[in-house]
Amino acid sequence: MEGDVCRLCGGDGRIGNALGRSTATCPSCHGSGRRADTSSGFHDVTKTKPSHFRPSAAEASKGPRGPTTAEGAQLAREVSESTVLGEDAKARLLVEIVNHESTHGRCTQTFIKKIRKQARPGQPNL
C-alpha cells in the first residue's frame, strides 16, 4: 500500500506551509493521505503547459521541501516517481535538490544528471 501514499503530504493528509503558520488540508489527496484519484485531474492541466512545468511543481512549492525552480521541480518529480529509489532515498534526494537550489540559485546540468542517474539508472540522459 505504500505506493499509494500521497507524495505531497507523505500520507498525513495535511501540509504545513513554509512559514509555519498552520497546517492545511493537502490539496493533492484532500486529506485522505492517498494518491487515489488525483491523477486524472493532474494530466489535463499539464497539456496546456510545457512539460517541464507541471502542476506538481506548484504543489511541491507549497510544501516544506519544495524546489523553487522548474528544473528542480521536474527533477523532484522524477525522483518521487522513481521505481528504483526507496522512500528514504527519495526524501534525501529531494532535500539535496532544495539545498542545491538555495546554494546555486538553480539546478546545474551536472547536478541534474547526477540526480537523474540515481532516479533512473537505466535511462540515457535527455
First to last CA, the chain: 32
> Minimal distance in Å, beta carbon 37 to Zn ion?
12
Cβ closest to Zn ion, residue 28 vs residue 118: 28
Cβ closest to Zn ion, residue 25 vs residue 46: 25
> Minimal distance in Å, beta carbon 125 to Zn ion?
31
> Minimal distance in Å, beta carbon 45 to Zn ion?
17
Cβ closest to Zn ion, residue 8 vs residue 75: 8
- Distance of alpha carbon 104 from alpha carbon 107, whole angstroms: 7
Interface ranges with Zn ion (CB under 5 A)? 6, 8-9, 26, 28-29
Q: What is the DSSP letter of 5?
A: B
Q: Is 15 helix (H, G, I), strand (E, B) or coil?
A: strand
- Residue 112's contacts (CB-CB under 8 Å, 6 or more residues apart) are 71, 75
- Distance of alpha carbon 98 from alpha carbon 78, whole angstroms: 14
> Minimal distance in Å, beta carbon 121 to Zn ion?
28
Cβ closest to Zn ion, residue 65 vs residue 114: 65
Closest CA to 114 of 99, 102, 96: 96
